[in-house]
Amino acid sequence: MRFILASNSPRRQELLRNAGFDFEVRSCPLPEPSPERGADPTQYAMAAGQSKALCIAAEAPPGTLVLAADTVVVLNGLILGKPVGPHDATQMLRLLSGKTHEVITGVCLARAPDTIETRVHEITFVTFRDLDDEEIRDYVKSREPYDKAGAYAIQGYASRFVTRISGCYFNVVGLPVALVAEILKSFTAEVGSRK
């Protein structure tokens, strides 16, 4: 089954390709909303994923499936999005140092044009070892943190920071692939039974 991935993320594209999915890529031209102070992280991630999916579904040919996702890093209820610069990345990494945080991905699947949708989420717990200022500085200089929620890429240099992970590794990379496979299967079965 072919679908549209509403994302420019090379990591999401690679994960889906490696899992054998057939898809095309389109991205929503709307800017990503910033979470409001005190926003529920899971609801925020799911709403952001839904917004991206519906943006593309509205313009897609009838019957087209659109998949979108949004990933956030959460520490003690504080949502850490993508850093806006070196200072922001440094602050995020200092916050994460020596602590366990959550990585939450909200996933939305919609069918164009009637926007029937399924929204789900995945949560993974990640623990960082204590980081010293020099390694944070070196990592920020690598530029790897800049387009990543929480200012790190678990599959890259930041793998050196992770002492423990509980849950789906691929969720931390940017897309819980097994969950996506499950919702694609159940969504197509559900829509097919309505015909």
Task: Kindly give the parts of the chain with pLDDT less than 70.
Answer: 1, 114, 188-195
Which tokens hold the place of 68? 């979108």
Give me the CATH number covering residue 165: 3.90.950.10
pLDDT of residue 146: 93
> The domain containing residue 133 runs over which residues?
2-194
pLDDT of residue 194: 56
pLDDT digits (tens, 9 = 90+) for 134-151: 999 999 999 999 999 999
pLDDT of residue 192: 56
Positions marked active-site: 70
The secondary element (H helix, E strand) that includes residue 66 is strand 65-75
pTM: 0.93
Quote the number of domains for the chain: 1
Query: 49 and 69 in contact (C-beta within 8 Å)?
Result: yes
pLDDT of residue 38: 86
Q: Residue 128 and residue 42: Cα distance in Å, rounded?
A: 21
